[in-house]
Amino acid sequence: MASITLDKVVKLYGKVTGVDQISLKVADGEFVSFLGPSGCGKTSTMRMIAGLEDISRGSIFIDDKRVNDLPPAGRNVAMAFENYGLYPQMSLFRNIAYPLYVRKVSPTEVGREVVRIARLLHIEDLLDKKPSDVSGGVRQRVSLARALVRKPTVFLLDEPLSHLDADLRSSMRGELKRLHDLNGATTIYVTHDQLEAMTMSDQIAVMNLGKLQQVGTPSEIFNRPANRFVASFIGEPAMNLLRGRVASTPEGVLITLQNTPFVTLNRETGQAVLETARQEDGVIEVGVRPPDFTVASPEKSGLQAKVRFREFLGETVLLTLDTGAERVRVVAPRDTQARETDLVSLVPRLDRLHFFSIESGMAVAHSD
């Protein structure tokens, strides 16, 4: 097993910058997710680590050894491909066995390892089939099995669960996490699904438009998002982002939404917000996650809003509300009385507010 270091890695496609100056360290045995929307550069970055793409600028190190010029075979990485990359002319068994076969592992051991991994992924009864005879879900598991059958320096998994149905995805998430817990292999996991990244990772590297947005533990990414993009990409439903006016009062720093007082921050949190707002016409962006509002009767002080939709989600309801200028989503307990067209007051949890600069989108303060 190994550590991976990316030092100012750049990938250019002609004049387009696919990956822009990414620096990152993946410690030995860590499970790190590259998370972002499609086209954010996460797959390109992984392919550069695998050696399938040239590195335009910067360096990649595996265990302190610069691998820029090594071919994939020389890096000893294992990879599962989003579009499977299976060998169409070979049975599933031979597909999974192939990496061992080219390494001249003894047939007995190959057989044992292939069957072991196939059982783990519940495909042991299908090994004599060809890729074209099985479903997308099975193909994806074969691709995963082919990566897992080896003992590489690092596992690279490119959206390995994306083609599975919801049930299987949910159980495979757990199995992969357990597998990592048991064998402690350094793993890089590319996904656009924030839930996968949140549930499985030691560290998440959030990417957008080729740039690294934030690296941190799931808890850091969720509770202290570095910027507006991370804040709204992580968490479902997405964080509400509201424009507030900032004023200094004797009690602290007052944030006003829609001309009504919203919260008063203590001096510590308030100071940074105040300073940013001063340079940006006295305005700040306030981030509140949907579960962090309490729905109260309209005479209570808070953000006044009218319920537009009420959607039943089982344990909770999702309310979509209009505040006049903005639309707000709130996740509330299912016994919440508010019905469609009702007027309510939304009271935020004061310890879970996030503030972003309107202009740069960078986080200015978190009220935890």
Binding residues among 22-51 for another protein as defined by CB under 8 A: 37, 50-51
* 368 part of the interface to another protein, by CB under 8 A: no
Q: How far is the CB of 13 from another protein (least distance, A)?
A: 13
Q: Which residues contact 67 (CB under 8 A, 6 or more apart)?
A: 51, 60, 61, 74, 75
Nearer to another protein, 93 or 355 (CB): 93
Site for another protein in 276-295 (CB under 8 A): 289, 291
Nearer to another protein, 172 or 253 (CB): 172
Q: How far is the CB of 320 from another protein (least distance, A)?
A: 5
**Which of 10, 70, 105, 238 touches another protein (CB under 8 A)?**
238
* 359 part of the interface to another protein, by CB under 8 A: no
Rounded to whole angstroms, how far apart are CA atoms 102 and 26? 28
Nearer to another protein, 181 or 299 (CB): 181
Name the β-bridge partners of 151. none
* 12 part of the interface to another protein, by CB under 8 A: no
Site for another protein in 78-107 (CB under 8 A): 78-79, 81, 83-91, 93-94, 97-99, 102-103, 107
Nearer to another protein, 196 or 272 (CB): 196
Question: Taking the CA of residue 278 as centre, how many other CA atoms within 13 Å lie in the half-sphere pointing to its CB?
Answer: 8
Site for another protein in 239-268 (CB under 8 A): none
Q: Is the dihedral of CA 338, 260, 273, 232 positive or negative?
A: positive
**Which of 15, 132, 314, 337 touches another protein (CB under 8 A)?**
314
Residue 52, both tokens:
């399938």
Q: How far is the CB of 249 from another protein (least distance, A)?
A: 31
Nearer to another protein, 41 or 51 (CB): 51
Size of the site for another protein (CB under 8 A): 81
Rounded to whole angstroms, how far apart are CA atoms 32 and 212? 13
Q: How far is the CB of 285 from another protein (least distance, A)?
A: 17
Nearer to another protein, 110 or 161 (CB): 110
Q: Which stretch binds another protein (CB under 8 A): 12-20, 216-224, 267-275, 277-285?
A: 216-224
* 229 part of the interface to another protein, by CB under 8 A: no
* 13 part of the interface to another protein, by CB under 8 A: no
Q: Which residues contact 196 (CB under 8 A, 6 or more apart)?
A: 33, 161, 173, 189
* 323 part of the interface to another protein, by CB under 8 A: no
Nearer to another protein, 300 or 327 (CB): 327
* 77 part of the interface to another protein, by CB under 8 A: yes
Q: How far is the CB of 335 from another protein (least distance, A)?
A: 12
**Which of 23, 219, 266, 279 touches another protein (CB under 8 A)?**
219
Nearer to another protein, 29 or 72 (CB): 72
Expressed in angstroms, the distance from the first to the final Cα of the chain is 37
> Is residue 67 a contact partner of residue 60, using CB atoms and an 8 Å limit?
yes
Nearer to another protein, 254 or 292 (CB): 292
Rounded to whole angstroms, how far apart are CA atoms 256 and 263? 7
Site for another protein in 119-178 (CB under 8 A): 119-120, 127-128, 143, 146, 150, 156, 165-167, 170, 173-175, 177-178
